[in-house]
């Protein structure tokens, strides 16, 4: 569709103030956050009614404290059916290197740094909360096809089982993931980097139940992370080289448990069993800018980052909440250039620092060169010994980095 895209005469056009493409973690959270602003909001979703998007699987989501605050304020937290598991302590080490980092929430006057929620549980809670919204219009299952500008409107074509439809909106929001069609339609280039790693995710049981410890064990192929779950299991994320991925996928459960035991060690106990494994490529995809004429990208459409440090959804939620604050502060034209530029400016520090942290840690931790061992050991020692360094790391891990949205800072009484 060209930049200027008038509709064909006689075409029925459905008009909305805002159209969100993508009903996953960030898109659904954004729709909930927009409720109450008196706007006509529509969401274009790939999943049909009664089914959750594929992203809501058995992977484990590590929510920073700021994210937990926001989800509580949005009315989502109360709808979780399975209790979240608190992260009270964080233990980071690297196989073959000296030194480690141990952080305890009590040292920062907190009960926990954050909470671990299973993605499928979170998806059900989001869906329940979306069901409480009376004004939200949901096109599902539907596919985004293309978009162009017609004056002060974005014209959008979508397709569903009944054929193609045309929507008109003052603001198009792409929350449609790493391979965002909205990002492409807005003409926003993206930088792609393949870490040449594959991440395996599984639920695993140890001979000792989780006790609030989260572990990040770094190795030549990347991290092996253990997150405590509310069902007395651990959520495991294990990185392997892309060349080894098929062989690892073919392992039976006993061989898989032995592999994780070897990669991680015995700090959490003996691994006894594992649930189904899922695999995902480790990649970084960064939009070169966040906004275009009457369009914006958020979440993984704006930046897909390495999962080391578990920052992805936390960062995407802050994208969404910052955008809502910018819209709320400028009643009138929700897609005006000054509104979108204000959003982009507010996201600079948080986005750049989080991406730099994630990418830098992934590259340094996975580089097997013995020449880097002293540097890694020094870094671990600096974090372990210097309060200022620890506080900076903890503040970022808890979601307090850059211009933090108000809902992330507000704790409900």
> What separation in angstroms does the CA of 280 have from each of 60, 198, 201, 274, 333?
13, 6, 8, 18, 39
Q: How confident is the model at residue 377 (pLDDT cuts 50, 70, 90)?
A: very low
Q: Give the model's pLDDT for residue 91.
A: 86
Domain ranges of the chain: 13-192+283-409
pLDDT band at 56 (very low <50, low <70, confident <90, very high): confident
Q: Given a cut of 50, is residue 374 above it in pLDDT?
A: no
Mean confidence (pLDDT) of the chain: 87
The pLDDT of residue 156: 98
In this prediction, residue 397 carries a pLDDT of 72
Looking from the CA of 256 toward its CB, the CA atoms found within 13 Å total: 26
Residue 25: how many CB atoms within 10 A of its CB? 25
Structure tokens at 137: 């219009």
Are residues 345 and 290 in contact, defined by beta-carbon separation less than 8 angstroms? no
CA distance 42 to 52: 18
pLDDT value, residue 231 = 87
Query: Residue 298's closest CA among 21, 1, 17?
Result: 21
| 383 — pLDDT class (breaks 50, 70, 90) | very low
pLDDT at 296: 98
Whether 182 has a pLDDT exceeding 60, the answer reads yes
Q: Give burial (CB, 10 Å; 0-12/13-18/19+) of 334.
A: buried
pTM: 0.89
The arrangement of secondary structure in 13-192+283-409, i.e. its CATH architecture, is 3-Layer(bba) Sandwich (3.50)
């Amino acid at each position: 569709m060209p930049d200027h895209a008038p509709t064909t005469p006689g075409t029925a056009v459905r008009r909305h103030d805002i159209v969100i493409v993508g009903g996953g973690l960030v898109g659904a959270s954004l729709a909930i956050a927009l409720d109450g602003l008196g706007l006509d909001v529509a969401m274009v979703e790939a999943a049909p009614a009664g089914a959750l998007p594929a992203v809501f699987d058995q992977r484990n989501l590590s929510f920073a404290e700021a994210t937990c605050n926001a989800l509580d304020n949005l009315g989502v937290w109360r709808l979780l059916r399975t209790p979240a598991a608190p992260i009270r302590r964080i233990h980071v080490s690297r196989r073959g290197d000296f030194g480690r980092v141990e952080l305890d929430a009590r040292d920062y006057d907190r009960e926990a740094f954050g909470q671990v929620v299973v993605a499928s549980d979170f998806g059900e809670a989001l869906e329940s909360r979306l069901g409480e919204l009376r004004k939200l219009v949901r096109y599902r299952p539907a596919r985004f096809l293309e978009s162009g500008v017609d004056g002060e409107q974005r014209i959008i074509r979508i397709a569903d089982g009944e054929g193609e439809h045309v929507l008109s909106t003052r603001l198009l929001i792409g929350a449609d993931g790493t391979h965002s069609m909205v990002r492409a339609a807005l003409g926003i280039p993206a930088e792609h980097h393949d870490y040449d790693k594959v991440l395996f995710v599984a639920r695993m049981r140890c001979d000792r139940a989780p006790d609030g410890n989260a572990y990040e064990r770094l190795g030549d192929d990347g991290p092996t992370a253990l997150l405590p779950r509310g069902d007395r299991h651990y959520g495991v994320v294990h990185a392997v080289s892309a060349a080894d991925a098929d062989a690892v996928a073919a392992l039976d459960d006993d061989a898989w448990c032995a592999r994780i035991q070897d990669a991680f060690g015995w700090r959490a106990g003996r691994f006894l069993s594992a649930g189904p494994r899922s695999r995902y490529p480790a990649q970084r995809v960064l939009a070169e800018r966040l906004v275009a004429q009457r369009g914006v990208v958020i979440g993984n459409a704006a930046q897909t980052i390495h999962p080391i440090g578990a920052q992805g959804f936390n960062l995407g939620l802050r994208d969404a909440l910052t955008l809502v604050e910018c819209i709320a502060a400028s009643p009138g034209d929700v897609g005006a250039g000054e509104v979108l530029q204000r959003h982009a400016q507010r996201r600079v520090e948080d986005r750049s620092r989080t991406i730099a942290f994630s990418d830098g840690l992934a590259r340094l931790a996975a580089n097997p060169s013995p020449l880097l061992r002293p540097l890694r050991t020094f870094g671990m020692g600096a974090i372990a010994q210097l309060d200022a360094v620890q506080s900076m790391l903890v503040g970022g891990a808890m979601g307090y980095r850059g211009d933090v949205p108000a809902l992330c800072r507000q704790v409900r009484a």
